[in-house]
Amino acid sequence: MDYFRTLRPLFTISQHWIRPRYCSNVAKSSVTSRERKFKSHISSGPNFQDFLKGVSVPKTPAADGQDCDTHSYLSEELHMGNSRKVYFETYGCQMNVSDTEIAWSILQRKGYQRTADLSEADVVLLVTCSIRDKAEQTIWNRLQQLTAMKKRRLKTRTPMKIGILGCMAERLKVEILEREKLVDVLAGPDAYRDLPRLLTVAEGGQQASNVLLSLEETYADVMPVQHAPQGHSAFVSIMRGCDNMCSYCIVPFTRGRERSRPVSSILEEVRMLSDQGVKEVTLLGQNVNSYRDTSEEQFCGSDLTQLSRGFKTVYRTKQGGLRFSDLLDRVSCIDPDMRIRFTSPHPKDFPDEVLHLIAERRNICQQIHLPAQSGSSKILKAMRRGYTREAYLDLVRNIKTIIPEVSLSSDFISGFCGETEDDHQQTLSLIREVGYNVGFLFAYSMRKKTHAFHRLQDDVPAEVKQRRLEECISVFREEAAKVNAALVGSTELVLVEGESKRSAKDLCGRTDGNVKVIFPKEDVAVQPEDSDMAPVNAGDYVLVKISSANSQSLRGRAISHSSLGDRAKHYETVQTAV
């Protein structure tokens, strides 16, 4: 283990600073014979890449789908988990859930075991979020509890290692290692392949970190291991990073540049999930509409329609390759009984092709998450969102024309730099005008490194932000209650998730529009108008007659089992009835 000690400084370096130091003073003319002798001596030993093994991410997956690290200065056997138990805690967005599955897949291959019991864990990994200060505070607090637990465990025979993964590892790097001396491992979002090595270093008693961001890493060859409790819904990451640089957002700094995972690898994962009986897949990316798989030859045109409708981007629109609509088309053809959702598209590049596809394909849910962030054009400009209030509302009208049954959800930020009472009123009026049924609303939290941090004043007092946020929430609830109330009396196709959290006598599921539905657990007809009855289980599709609604959910009674094929029939019935 002393061996690792000698390597210690190299585990936390980034290529950015080592290169100049390494090359600087070696002017050709001044190389002495002593230096030549020294160079020839070290050339037969391990080279620089050996020390960086795993720091630069392997680009080409091996044919068997395993990591293709060819430099093996630290022998592979040393990276093995030897059945050590890993406990994951995931914070933040769905992307982090997906990252947890990737990290777990990598560790599982190396012989680690997963545990749901913290007390028996050899390794505790926190998959972290940096998007708002509150998210980070939660993790700092959790770290204190874990390090106290680690101290207690030091006296027992099962020592515990703590690792910080994801955005917070990327954003705070050195600060975490210095402030929390008992943290053993830091791995940024592009460094999960390096986890086995980092954990091996940590076993030797050292802190180990890799926070290098990559331009290529998509973990395309790492099949995530799904760990959903019910196992009927899954998230599939289709791209990583973000190039949008909205002025408030830390994501481009923690997750790096945008890159798309190849179509073939996404289709393979969705096929695998379908074989496992998964009934609903959500395609995940920070900005799914700018998905491009340029590894495919076909040229499918560009999305110029949006640029001419009042949307603009600070980045060059990507050309060529397969676009999001092509991907959605292919994914939805895999299993006609599998629901497909996606999140999040950016309003600035929402092409009509995607809307038409949603309208036509019965297994693509008629639900769109369309983050608005503000209803004021002035604030949208300061946020660098690339659209105005009018352009956003035009897009909403276009969506509603092409998909009349659409359910819309959104994200809003209250109290962004320079937001006046009038701007806030415009946000409230936009929420009323659109009529969303789900919303994610936040008070602005300034993040270092962002454009807003450098150039704008965080000038809305905390209590004003809070009051505006509460007003947004209450208008949202009113509107969602109206949207949901309009469904009373209709029959909805519901994918059953399992027992309701509130009562074991009820089941809970979701409509095509992603609204939660609660209904009594009872046997129902095996198909519409059949007299044979069967119990309802998680993963089943059932038709539910809706009897009441509030802003959060619907209540009703299941009529019969069903399938996605019935969605079309169901809509025909509803329209005839109207």
Stretch that binds ligand 5AD, among 55-63, 277-285, 287-295, 441-449 (CB under 6 A): 441-449
Closer to ligand SF4 at the Cβ: 101 or 258? 258
The beta strands (E) that lie in 265-404 are given as 280-284, 292-293, 322-323, 339-343, 367-369
**Are the C-beta atoms of residues 348 and 385 closer than 8 Å to each other?**
yes
CA angle 236, 245, 426 (to 5 degrees): 95
Distance CA 469, CA 451 (A): 23
x-or-dash string of contact with ligand 5AD, 129-158, rule CB under 6 A: --xx--------------------------
Stretch that binds ligand 5AD, among 59-67, 172-180, 439-447, 537-545 (CB under 6 A): 439-447
Q: Name the amino acid, one letter, at 32.
A: T
According to DSSP, the β-strands at 367-369 and 339-343 are unpaired
Minimum Å gap between C-beta 248 and ligand 5AD is 4
Stretch that binds ligand 5AD, among 82-90, 107-115, 213-221, 437-445 (CB under 6 A): 437-445
Closer to ligand SF4 at the Cβ: 128 or 332? 128
Position among 176, 249, 496, 517 found at the interface with ligand SF4 (CB under 6 A): 249
Binding at 244: pick from ligand SF4, ligand 5AD, none (beta carbon under 5-8 Å per type): ligand SF4
**Are the C-beta atoms of residues 284 and 240 closer than 8 Å to each other?**
no
Distance CA 358, CA 366 (A): 6
Closer to ligand SF4 at the Cβ: 128 or 244? 244
Minimum Å gap between C-beta 93 and ligand 5AD is 6
Helices 421-434 & 389-402 angle (0-180, nearest 10):
10
Position among 166, 256, 285, 371 found at the interface with ligand 5AD (CB under 6 A): 371
How many residues touch ligand SF4 under the rule CB under 6 A: the total is: 10
**Are the C-beta atoms of residues 524 and 562 closer than 8 Å to each other?**
no
Distance CA 84, CA 196 (A): 11
Residue whose token pair is 């009472």: 421
Residue whose token pair is 């947890």: 100
244 binds ligand SF4 (CB under 6 A): yes
Stretch that binds ligand 5AD, among 11-19, 291-299, 443-451, 492-500 (CB under 6 A): 443-451
Distance CA 223, CA 269 (A): 7
Encoded tokens for 370: 């369309």
According to DSSP, the β-strands at 233-237 and 239-240 are unpaired
338-377: which residues touch ligand SF4 (CB under 6 A)?
346
Position among 130, 325, 373, 491 found at the interface with ligand 5AD (CB under 6 A): 373
Binding at 242: pick from ligand 5AD, ligand SF4, none (beta carbon under 5-8 Å per type): ligand SF4
x-or-dash string of contact with ligand 5AD, 195-234, rule CB under 6 A: ----------------------------------------
Stretch that binds ligand SF4, among 25-33, 139-147, 243-251, 543-551 (CB under 6 A): 243-251
Return phi, psi of residue 142, to 5°.
-65, -40
Stretch that binds ligand SF4, among 88-96, 178-186, 241-249, 521-529 (CB under 6 A): 241-249
Minimum Å gap between C-beta 26 and ligand 5AD is 45
Encoded tokens for 357: 């596809």
DSSP letters for 453-485:
HHHS---S-HHHHHHHHHHHHHHHHHHHHHHHH
CA angle 111, 116, 122 (to 5 degrees): 50
Minimum Å gap between C-beta 447 and ligand 5AD is 5
DSSP letters for 52-116:
TBTTBPP-S--TTSS------SS-GGGG--TT-EEEEEE-SSHHHHHHHHHHHHHHHHTT-EE-S
Minimum Å gap between C-beta 99 and ligand SF4 is 15
The residue among 103, 130, 138 whose CA lies nearest residue 237 is: 103
Binding at 346: pick from ligand SF4, ligand 5AD, none (beta carbon under 5-8 Å per type): ligand SF4
414 binds ligand SF4 (CB under 6 A): no
246 binds ligand SF4 (CB under 6 A): yes
Stretch that binds ligand SF4, among 112-120, 144-152, 192-200, 242-250 (CB under 6 A): 242-250
Binding at 313: pick from ligand SF4, ligand 5AD, none (beta carbon under 5-8 Å per type): none
Binding at 85: pick from ligand 5AD, ligand SF4, none (beta carbon under 5-8 Å per type): none
242 binds ligand SF4 (CB under 6 A): yes
Encoded tokens for 109: 């291959």
Sorted by sequence, the CB contacts under 8 Å of residue 322 that are 6+ apart come out as 263, 292, 293, 296, 298, 300
Binding at 132: pick from ligand SF4, ligand 5AD, none (beta carbon under 5-8 Å per type): ligand 5AD
Taking CB atoms, the residue at the shortest distance from ligand 5AD is: 411
286 binds ligand SF4 (CB under 6 A): yes
Position among 143, 211, 249, 358 found at the interface with ligand 5AD (CB under 6 A): 249
Distance CA 378, CA 455 (A): 15
Distance CA 427, CA 127 (A): 33
Binding at 444: pick from ligand SF4, ligand 5AD, none (beta carbon under 5-8 Å per type): ligand 5AD
Q: Which residues bind ligand 5AD (CB under 6 A)?
A: 131-132, 248-249, 371, 373, 411, 413, 442, 444-445, 447
Q: Which residues bind ligand SF4 (CB under 6 A)?
A: 242, 244-246, 249, 251-252, 286-287, 346
